[in-house]
Amino acid sequence: MLVMRRWILTLGTLGALLAPYATRSDASPDPYSIYAQARSAWRENRYPPQIAYDVAVAVTEGGKERVERYRSAYDARRGVVRVDPVSDYELAHPVKPTGVNLALLFLRVGKPLPPVDFLGVPRLAPTYSFGMSGFVPAPSPTPFDSAALVREIRADFHDPNPRERATPTPRASELPEIAFESASHHDYTVTLLGSDEVAGHACYHLRLRPMRDPRHLRLRELWVDQASFATWKIVEALNFANGPGTTVPWTIRFADLGGAHYIAREDADAPIRAGGEIYERAEVRFEHVREVVRMPLRAPLGQSGTFLDEP
């Protein structure tokens, strides 16, 4: 009897020690499901068909910050970004010849002008999703059209033979089937690193590793809202289609405005060499984003030079 009691006591002690682990659920959220719902959340954004904004390009050079702003506009219906290539700095400091022009000697004496367009003229839109989603313009009060959304997604993925079938409206707790299809391509290996807070939002922290074409599949980390599945922060391996921004990783942060999700700022995560200069810090900000009835800038005619473009 004594041995039996000791055995029961030992089992009870062991059970008490293991109780927290037995009651804790070992099932963690599926990172691929989180990624799919994040892409679905991007699809639910509804932006105005035309917006105007300023793009600020800020750099730190030799410990001093320099900023140039460019008037910009985006026509979502045509997928066109218009930008005034003359920045506010250039408008305030027009080029004036300095020194003495010794034309006969083919020499120009004078202090060189400070460099402008630090990274290039930014031909960018704050609605860009970094490959998370295409853009579906839906001016208010146009109702949401799920069938059009499915067609748009299939077009993005070049589906040559869409299956003709009814598309049921998913419940709030369900993922749209098309989101699972896009995630099933497994362009990335997705890992859940844990939970973090970003700008006051509890987020899932995902790590992404491209399965192929790392220059095209640029995402490396995502912070996804645990409630809304909105993306609040991205780390990507490189930024822009060309220029010095393609040499370093960037961190992207977002903000909500008028019920839609916009890029707030893009920060280079390492110094950048550009035009013979070394910028210890580089940042692109979208400021004064607003809906407009018509494009405030005329279509560019024969623009040339270096531009910052998204892939």
Q: What is the pLDDT of residue 175?
A: 40
The per-residue pLDDT for 179 is: 34
Please give the residue that has the higher pLDDT: either 19 or 230.
Answer: 230
Is the pTM of the predicted complex or chain greater than 0.75? no
The pLDDT of residue 30 is: 92
Buried b (16+ CB within 10 A) or exposed e, 74-111: bbbeeeebbbbbebebeeeeeeeeeeeeeeeeeeeeee
Question: Measured on CA atoms in the order 228, 232, 236, 241, is the torsion positive or negative?
Answer: positive
Residue 110 confidence (pLDDT) above 70: no
Closest CA to 72 of 246, 267, 292: 292
The answer on pLDDT for 186 being more than 50 is yes
**For the purposes of burial, counting CB atoms within 10 Å of the CB of 282, is it exposed (0-12), middle (13-18) or buried (19 or more)?**
buried
For residue range 52-68, list pLDDT tens digits in order: 999 999 999 989 999 99
pLDDT digits (tens, 9 = 90+) for 74-109: 998 888 899 998 888 777 766 555 554 444 334 344
Structure tokens of 230?
């909105």
**Any idea which of 131-145, 179-193, 245-259, 272-286 has the lowest mean pLDDT?**
131-145
The candidate with the shortest Cα–Cα distance to 229, out of 58, 55, 33, 97, is: 33
Say whether pLDDT at 150 is over 70. no
Assigned fold of 29-92+100-163+171-293+304-309: outer membrane lipoprotein receptor (LolB), chain A (2.50.20)
pLDDT band at 274 (very low <50, low <70, confident <90, very high): confident
Residue 165: per-residue pLDDT: 35
The domain limits of the chain are 29-92+100-163+171-293+304-309
Residue 87: per-residue pLDDT: 85
- Tally of CB atoms within 10 A around 36: 22
